[in-house]
Amino acid sequence: MNITVQGIGAVSPAGWGVEKLREVLEKNTPLPATELARPGWTGGLRVRAVPPPQTRPAIFAQPRLRRASPISQYAVAAAMEALGSSVEKINRGEVRLGIIFCVMSGCVNYSRRFYDETLRDPATASPLVFPETVFNAPASHLASLLGSRGRCYTMVGDPGTFLQGLALAAQWLGEKQVDGCLVVGAEELDWLTADASRLFCRDSVLSAGAGAVYLTESSSAEGPVLSAVTDAHLFLRNQSPACAAAKMRAQLPSLAEPSLLCDGLQQVARADRDELRAWDHWQGARLSPKAILGEGFAAASAWQCVAALDALKTRAFQGANVSVVGCNQQAIGAQFLAKPAL
Amino acid sequence: MVTGAGVITALGRGWKENSTGFRSGKTAFRPVTLFDVSKQRAKFAAEVSIPENLPQTRLTFRQMKRMDRASKLLLLAAVEAWGQSRWEPKEDLPIVLGTTSGGMAMGEAFYRHALSTPSKHARQPTRVASYQCQRQALDVCEAFGIHGPLTLIANACSSGANAIGHAWELVRCGAAERVLTGGYDALSHMVFSGFDSLQALSTTVCRPFDAARDGLALGEGAAVLALETLESALQRRAEILGEIVSYGAATDAHHLTQPHPDGDAALAAMQEATHLAGLNPDQVGYVNAHGTGTHLNDSSEAAAINRWAGDHAAKVRVSSTKSSIGHLLGAAGAVEAVVCLMSLREGWLPPTSTIKTPDPVCQFSLVTSPETASVDYALSNSFGFGGANASLLLRRWQ
């Protein structure tokens, strides 16, 4: 049996949809950054924001999304694209759907707003805003819109968490706990996150959006398939990020040519150092979505997977490695094959 | 098998102090001192007294010095569980933890500093790092020399139960021989204010399942369990504290914060847990309810327990230990699993001692005063915002 990729979806600074993502990645030119106002500063913080959709998706009219912050909108749009026609079956209860939602910063817009209200006067802090601050609010909206009653986990951690989500999805599918599993990585922009991120890497440009991968278990020879996820190698006092990245690389099986590496390089020396070293002898093609779109944490690792999968479908690669050397937790890799191994 | 259990709540630190407190139905609420609540409706919470000196582990003095309150709670529970399990450092030991807000107090401090002195960054990187959930979990890894992998589940108030359930599944399916798991959360101003804004906090006494209940009370704490296969435990001649025999999880799509009035998803989680274990509800001697003390949660959960137990409802013993320690959010499911272990192992049922007039919707038998009882199976319910529902089924080890 194979863990088959049934669909992919993306919302990014490139726009809404995988096609927009592909167009921008093919140009291979970093998107221009804009300035996000930061209280107390005359200047702003450099970010890459998601442009407004050309037409507002009809699903945004659902009551659950009326107050939802951008992270939920990005996640829902990416998820719906990944699910495609499967949405109807899920709505009818014909598919036991698992949802794994991965974030690092999460619902920071409303969290900042609610805490600000608390500091000003807790007696008037909004009860409508608080529930939207909770990490699992976007996943809850998604489950509600899909009418899904099955397992729904929100996993928190650095960007590598999205790949952990893929591994968990494979586990659920392998144990027949679900018929299909949607793995979503999403983030939203806020000056608070951009300010915090800048403290660790001044040249990194923060971005936002979502990526989604819909997986099922299947015996068919149709691809692409998720063939491997490495262990999550933690950054510890006795295990540096460089060491963790090297272990991740060593754990990924070799690929038949032509092959692709979809890495997490940002073209920022400090941020890229350990990952560059881990992959310095890589001979195949290379794609670096974050260098073009920015650092989108859980959304960015999801874009890496979506970009790799899209390249497997639209270009002639046999397989693709996705490498994530996270900000402060772990190095982890995944491998997709264009067709299941016989 | 559970071969280690560590717990810290406002009742005390460790198994013994908590067992004594839960068994007697003691309540541990006091005026909030961690932040200003003068403008809030509610003024009380179950604050933990954290010792000044943390136990000796592999953490350096510098690492311990920068630990936030949530990290300390988690570490204290983990040290107890680790010591009890007598595990040795093992490179590939998975850790699965649940939390709702990680080091939220550090995030709050970051925000206040960012606004008040926007051009000064002293200690801001530490605040950012300590705010994130992975920091607390990585501290545990460093403390015991373990390398993970690390999974953090943030399913609101069912996070702790989901984490233990996921850890149990890892052991059950053979993905791991041992897993360190649990949940933790520290009180924070923002979360307190959030529940207060929803008017979900009691302004009197937290009385789960009481007809006159007026809300929940918040608490803080942590619980950590050492789980391993029976083979591993027997081979090591480890002391077995109890067994997790199954786990159910379901999603309630009804509303972001309100459960379905009939408790559909709660029922689904409870049914999955008992079905997977091959049990009927009448074989479950005790249910540790989610029982927050809010009108909506308790009536929905009561409906679910009534439906789950069916004809046997009157015989099912139920209590909520949130009357003693408050709602521990991401730690609740983990702490309540430890309460079930205590109850099964020591032969008592923890009372909801604050109940005066049971809500007539409860067709089951509420435990309102200390009782001795020999029970074979206990079910622990945890439900959260976003419709996250989880049930853990535990068995007495004989």
Q: How does pLDDT run across A169-215, given as a tens digit for each residue?
A: 999 999 999 999 999 999 999 999 999 999 999 999 999 999 999 99
- Looking at the structure, do residues A177 and A56 belong to the same domain, yes or no? yes
> Letter for the amino acid at B105?
A
The fraction of chain A above a pLDDT of 90, given in percent, is: 92
Q: Is pLDDT of A342 > 80?
A: no
Of A185, A218, A251, the domain-final residue = A218
Within-domain flag for A321: yes
Within-domain flag for A191: yes
Within-domain flag for A312: yes
- Taking Cα atoms as reference points, which of A262, A275, A267, A265 lies closest to residue A319? A262
**Number of other residues whose CB lies within 10 A of the CB of residue B141:** 25
**Number of other residues whose CB lies within 10 A of the CB of residue A271:** 20
Query: Do you know the residue count of chain A?
Result: 342
Q: What is the count of structural domains for chain A?
A: 2
Are A223 and A139 contacting, i.e. CB atoms less than 8 angstroms apart? no
pLDDT, chain A, mean: 95
Out of B115, B134, B145, name the one closest to residue A157 (CB). Answer: B134
Of A201, A218, A235, the domain-final residue = A218
- Looking at the structure, do residues A134 and A279 belong to the same domain, yes or no? no
CA dist., res. A159 & res. A166, Å (int): 13
Q: Which residues of chain B have pLDDT under 70?
A: none
Query: Which residues of A are less than 8 Å from B264 in CB distance?
Result: 149
Which run of H or of E encompasses B306? Answer: helix B295-309
- Looking at the structure, do residues A160 and A246 belong to the same domain, yes or no? no
Query: Which residues of A are less than 8 Å from B386 in CB distance?
Result: 134, 136-137, 139-140, 143, 152, 154
Q: What are phi and psi of B253, to 5 degrees?
A: -90, 10
Are B350 and B24 contacting, i.e. CB atoms less than 8 angstroms apart? no
Query: Which residues of B are less than 8 Å from A130 in CB distance?
Result: 193-195, 197-198
Instruction: Name residue B318's beta-bridge partners.
Output: B287, B366
CB crowding A283-322: b at 16 or more within 10 Å, else e: ebeebbbbbbbbbbbbbbbbbbbbbbbbbbeeeebebbbb
Q: How does pLDDT run across A23-68, given as a tens digit for each residue?
A: 999 999 999 999 999 999 999 999 999 999 999 889 999 999 988 9
CA distance B266 to chain A (A): 11
CA distance A28 to chain B (A): 32
Domains of chain B: 2-236 (3.40.47.10), 246-395 (3.40.47.10)
CA dist., res. B42 & res. B218, Å (int): 10
Query: How remote is the C-alpha of B56 from its chain's centroid?
Result: 25
Q: Which domain holds residue A270?
A: 225-337
- Looking at the structure, do residues A83 and A153 belong to the same domain, yes or no? yes
Q: Hey, which residues 37-56 in chain A have their CB within 8 Å of chain B?
A: 38-41
- Looking at the structure, do residues A15 and A121 belong to the same domain, yes or no? yes
Q: Is pLDDT of A77 > 70?
A: yes
A141-167 mean pLDDT: 97
Q: How does pLDDT run across A243-294, given as a tens digit for each residue?
A: 999 999 999 999 999 999 999 999 999 999 999 999 999 999 999 999 999 9
Out of B39, B114, B253, name the one closest to residue A195 (CB). Answer: B114
Q: Which residue has the higher pLDDT, A292 or A237?
A: A292
Query: Which residues of B are less than 8 Å from A112 in CB distance?
Result: 111
Are A296 and A325 contacting, i.e. CB atoms less than 8 angstroms apart? no
- Looking at the structure, do residues A28 and A7 belong to the same domain, yes or no? yes
Greatest pairwise CA separation for chain B in angstroms: 66
Would residue B327 show up in a list of annotated catalytic residues for this protein?
Answer: yes
Q: Is A330 on the interface with B (CB under 8 A)?
A: yes
pLDDT value for A221: 66
Q: Is pLDDT of A219 > 90?
A: no
Per DSSP, the three-state class of A163 is helix
CATH code of A77's domain: 3.40.47.10
Q: How many A-B residue pairs are in contact by the CB < 8 A criterion? A: 192
Of A218, A235, A266, the domain-final residue = A218
Question: Among all residues of chain B, which has the CA nearest to that of A99?
Answer: B251
CA distance B368 to chain A (A): 32
Strands (E), A270-318: 285-287
- Looking at the structure, do residues A331 and A214 belong to the same domain, yes or no? no
Within-domain flag for A273: yes
- Looking at the structure, do residues A204 and A238 belong to the same domain, yes or no? no
| Sign of the C-alpha dihedral computed for residues A57, A62, A67 and A68 taken in this order | negative
A231-245 mean pLDDT: 95
pLDDT value for B91: 79
- Looking at the structure, do residues A235 and A137 belong to the same domain, yes or no? no
pLDDT value for A340: 84
B292 contacts: CB under 8 Å, gap ≥ 6: B157, B200, B208, B216, B298, B320, B322, B327
pLDDT value for A141: 96
Determine the residue among B155, B168, B179, B276 to mutate to test chain A binding: the one whose Cβ has the most chain A Cβ atoms within 10 Å: B155
Would residue B157 show up in a list of annotated catalytic residues for this protein?
Answer: yes
Within-domain flag for A111: yes
Would residue B295 show up in a list of annotated catalytic residues for this protein?
Answer: no
Query: Which residues of A are less than 8 Å from B125 in CB distance?
Result: 199-200
Query: Which residues of B are less than 8 Å from A139 in CB distance?
Result: 386
Within-domain flag for A342: no
Q: How does pLDDT run across B355-380, given as a tens digit for each residue?
A: 999 999 999 999 999 999 999 999 99
Within-domain flag for A151: yes
Q: What pairing do the DSSP bridges indicate for beta strands B377-384 and B286-288?
A: parallel
Are B98 and B337 contacting, i.e. CB atoms less than 8 angstroms apart? no
The token duo for A151 is 């397992």
Out of B92, B152, B387, name the one closest to residue A156 (CB). Answer: B152
- Looking at the structure, do residues A207 and A250 belong to the same domain, yes or no? no
Per DSSP, the three-state class of B57 is coil
- Looking at the structure, do residues A156 and A302 belong to the same domain, yes or no? no
Query: Do you know the residue count of chain B?
Result: 398
Active-site residue (options: B141, B166, B260, B327): B327
- Looking at the structure, do residues A81 and A197 belong to the same domain, yes or no? yes
Question: pTM of the prediction?
Answer: 0.97
Is this complex scored with an ipTM above 0.85?
A: yes
Band of residue A220 on the pLDDT scale cut at 50, 70, 90: confident
Within-domain flag for A166: yes
CA distance A308 to chain B (A): 24
